[in-house]
Amino acid sequence: MSFNFTGKTVVVTGAAQGIGQAIAYAFAKHGASVFVCDIDENLLQETVKKCGGTTQGRQVDVTNQQAVKAFIQEVGSVDILVNCAGGVRGQEGKPIESITVDEWRALFEVNTDSTFWCSQAVAPLMKEKGFGRIINISSGAGLGISLTGIQAYASSKAAQIGLTRQLAHELGPYGITVNSIAPGFVRSNPSSEKQWQKFGEEKQKQILDSIAMRRLGKAEDIANGVLFFASDASSWITGQILSIDGGK
């Protein structure tokens, strides 16, 4: 399957590294005008440099509704939104009784709230055109359990999946599709690499043995799924969650 996004404007959040960077690069490679954002401005410039062409980067805190609105207003008409910002914000798994209010809310802000604010900002523009693609990068943890044991991560990613389904029904009549990708474990950034090393050899082997393909994924594997959801080939697919996890 070949992709051509010439003439399309794409926004990718959380694009400073890892999966987000791979997604931005894939769209740029296939002709799109790409706007990337992240809270880490220095790393984001590496993405802009790698993508080249018409790619532009902005430092944006996507947990801030007003900052998101200002960013989207600057971009203008958006054809494709990829909500990739998210993660564990440095948290590690620990017993439920020790979780603080701030720790719990922090992961909902970055994984769920940001998806809502960004989708909310682009929706009116997409409605006007009668076309749009919103692709949310969730996690296998949102469909099952978190390998790290972080309760708020699993819960916030599950909430993001629920939001995907709800928005698909709300926005479908306007020609807008909303889908989600649930990646398996991908060693794509320092945070995921730290998690992987912390598992230890025995648990690493257990994880690999539970995957049909017997390997971890790459950021490019996730980007390929995003390209499909953004393409005309998926025009009658919405409200769906695609697990890209090597087979579970």
Residue 127 lies in a domain: yes
153 belongs to the catalytic site: yes
For residues 58 and 39, give the distance between their C-alpha atoms in angstroms, rounded to a whole number. 9
What does the CA dihedral 133, 137, 142, 144 come to, rounded to 10 degrees? 110
Residue indicated by tokens 């055109």: 129
Q: In this model, does residue 1 exceed pLDDT 80? A: no
Residue 45 lies in a domain: yes
**Residue-wise DSSP of 147-211:** TT--HHHHHHHHHHHHHHHHHHHHHGGGTEEEEEEEE--B--SHHHHHHHHHHHHHHHHHHHHTS
**pLDDT by residue (tens digit) across 209-232?**
999 999 999 999 999 999 999 999
27, 153, 185, 229: the catalytic one is 153
Q: Token pair for residue 59? A: 């430092």
For residues 42 and 94, give the distance between their C-alpha atoms in angstroms, rounded to a whole number. 31
Residue 194 lies in a domain: no
**pLDDT score, position 112:** 98
**pLDDT score, position 135:** 99
**pLDDT score, position 190:** 87
Total domains present in the chain: 1
What whole-number percentage of the chain has pLDDT above 90?
93
**pLDDT by residue (tens digit) across 86-102?**
999 989 999 999 999 99
Per DSSP, helices labelled H in 76-150 are: 101-108, 114-129
Q: pTM score, two decimals?
A: 0.96
**pLDDT score, position 248:** 85
Residue 204 lies in a domain: no
H/E segment holding residue 214: none
Domain at 179, CATH number: 3.40.50.720
**pLDDT score, position 195:** 87
Residue 1 lies in a domain: no
For residue 53, the 8-state DSSP code is T
**pLDDT by residue (tens digit) across 104-114?**
999 999 999 99
**pLDDT score, position 90:** 87
Q: Which domain holds residue 178?
A: 9-189+218-243
15 pLDDT tier (thresholds 50, 70, 90): very high
Residue 196 lies in a domain: no
Residue 137 lies in a domain: yes
Three-state DSSP at 6 gives coil
Residue 88 lies in a domain: yes
Q: Token pair for residue 187? A: 């060693």
Q: How many CB atoms lie within 10 A of CB 128?
A: 11
**pLDDT by residue (tens digit) across 51-88?**
998 899 999 999 999 999 999 999 999 999 999 999 99
H/E segment holding residue 13: strand 9-13
Taking CA atoms, 219 is separated from 13, 28, 127, 192, in Å, by: 15, 15, 31, 12
